[in-house]
Amino acid sequence: MGLRRAGAPAVMTGLPSSSTAPRGLHVITWGCQMNVYDSARMSDVLRPLGYQPVDTPDAADMIILNTCHIRDRAAEKVFSELGRLRKIKEARETTGQPTIIAVAGCVAQAEGQEILARAPYVDIVLGPQTYHRLPEMVARAARAGGAVIETDFPAEQKFDFLPDTAAPQTPGNLTAFLTIQEGCDKFCSFCVVPYTRGAEVSRSVTSVLAEARRMVESGVQEISLLGQNVNAYHGTGPDGDVWDLARLAYALAAIPGLNRIRYATSHPRDMDDALIAAHRDLPELMPYLHLPVQSGSDKILRAMNRGHTADDYREIVRKLHAARPDLALSSDFIVGHPGETDEDFEATMQLVRDVTFAQAYSFKYSQRPGTPAAGAPLQVPEDVKDARLQALQALLREQQDAFNQSLVGQTVPVLFTSEGRKPGQISGRSPWLQPVHVTGSPDLIGREVPVRITERLTNSLNGILEEEKVYA
CA atoms within 13 A on the CB side of 78: 34
| Count of CB atoms situated within 10 Å of the CB of 144 | 13
Q: How far apart are the first and last CA of the chain?
A: 55
Helices marked H in 119-204: 134-143, 193-196
Q: Is residue 191 a contact point for ligand 5AD (CB under 6 A)? A: yes
368 binds, among ligand SF4, ligand 5AD, none (CB under 5 to 8 A by kind): ligand 5AD
According to the binding rule CB under 6 A, does residue 332 interact with ligand 5AD?
yes
Residue 83 annotated as binding site: no
Residue 229 interacts, among ligand 5AD, ligand SF4, none and using kind-specific CB cut-offs from 5 to 8 Å, with ligand SF4
User: How far is it, in rounded angstroms, from Cα 183 to Cα 38?
Assistant: 13
Amino acid in the structure at residue 381: P
Choose the contact partner of 228 out of ligand SF4, ligand 5AD, none; CB within 5 to 8 A by kind: ligand SF4
Q: Residue 271 and residue 245: Cα distance in Å, rounded?
A: 10
> Which of ligand SF4, ligand 5AD, none has residue 147 at its interface (CB below 5 to 8 Å by kind)?
none
Dist. CA 285–CA 431, nearest whole Å: 9
> Would you say 289 is a known binding-site residue?
no
* Closest to 24 (Cα-Cα) out of 55, 65, 66: 55
* Partner in contact with 334, chosen from ligand 5AD, ligand SF4, none, beta carbon below 5 to 8 Å by kind: ligand 5AD
Residue 68 assigned ligand-binding role: yes
Binding span for ligand 5AD by CB under 6 A among 22-30, 219-227, 358-366, 379-387: 358-366
Cite the beta strand spans of 9-142 per DSSP E: 23-29, 51-53, 62-67, 100-104, 124-126
**What is the C-alpha to C-alpha distance for residues 146 and 4, in angstroms, rounded to an integer?**
7
Taking a C-beta distance cutoff of 8 angstroms, is the pair 171, 40 a contact? Answer: no
Distance CA 33, CA 105 (A): 12
Q: Which does 187 bind (CB under 5 to 8 A by kind): ligand 5AD, ligand SF4, none?
A: ligand SF4
Q: Provide the minimum distance between the beta carbon of 70 and ligand 5AD in the complex, in angstroms, as a whole number.
A: 5
Among 103, 137, 167, 191, binds ligand SF4 (CB under 6 A): 191
- 181 scored as a contact of ligand SF4 (CB under 6 A): no
* 194 binds ligand SF4, rule: CB under 6 A: yes
Is 78 labelled as part of a ligand binding site? no
Round to whole Å and give the CA distance between 51 and 36. 18
Mark the segment that binds ligand SF4 (CB under 6 A) among 186-194, 354-362, 381-389, 454-462.
186-194
Residue 106, annotated as binding a ligand: yes
Identify residues 211-240 at the interface with ligand 5AD (CB under 6 A): none
Torsion of CA 259, 264, 270, 272, to 10 degrees: 20
| Residue 367 Cβ vs ligand SF4, minimum distance, rounded to whole Å | 15
Number of helices (H), then strands (E), in the chain:
12, 21
Residue 373: CB minimum distance to ligand 5AD, A: 7
Q: Which of these segments, 102-110, 185-193, 209-217, 455-463, binds ligand SF4 (CB under 6 A)? A: 185-193
| The binder of ligand SF4 chosen from 3, 46, 184, 389 (CB under 6 A) | 184
Q: Is 348 in the site for ligand 5AD (CB under 6 A)?
A: no
Nearest to 266 by CA among 279, 250, 251: 279
- Length of the chain equals 472
Among 267, 279, 368, 437, interactor with ligand SF4 by CB under 6 A: 267
- State how far the Cα of 270 lies from the Cα of 232, in Å rounded to an integer: 6
> In this structure, are residues 67 and 103 in contact, taking their beta carbons and an 8 Å threshold?
yes
If the CB atoms of residues 161 and 187 are measured against ligand SF4, the closer one turns out to be 187
Find out whether 379 is annotated in a ligand binding site.
no
Judged by beta carbon, residue 69 or residue 132, the one nearer ligand 5AD is 69
CB 446 within 8 A of CB 454: no
- The distance of closest approach from Cβ of residue 362 to ligand 5AD in the complex, given in angstroms and rounded to an integer, is 8
| 368 lies in the binding site for ligand SF4 (CB under 6 A) | no
Span near ligand SF4 by CB under 6 A; candidates 99-107, 188-196, 217-225, 276-284: 188-196
**Whole-number Å distance between alpha carbons of 409 and 422:** 23
Enumerate the known binding-site residues for [4Fe-4S] cluster. Answer: 32, 68, 106, 184, 188, 191
Site residues for ligand SF4 per CB under 6 A: 184, 186-188, 191, 193-194, 228-229, 267
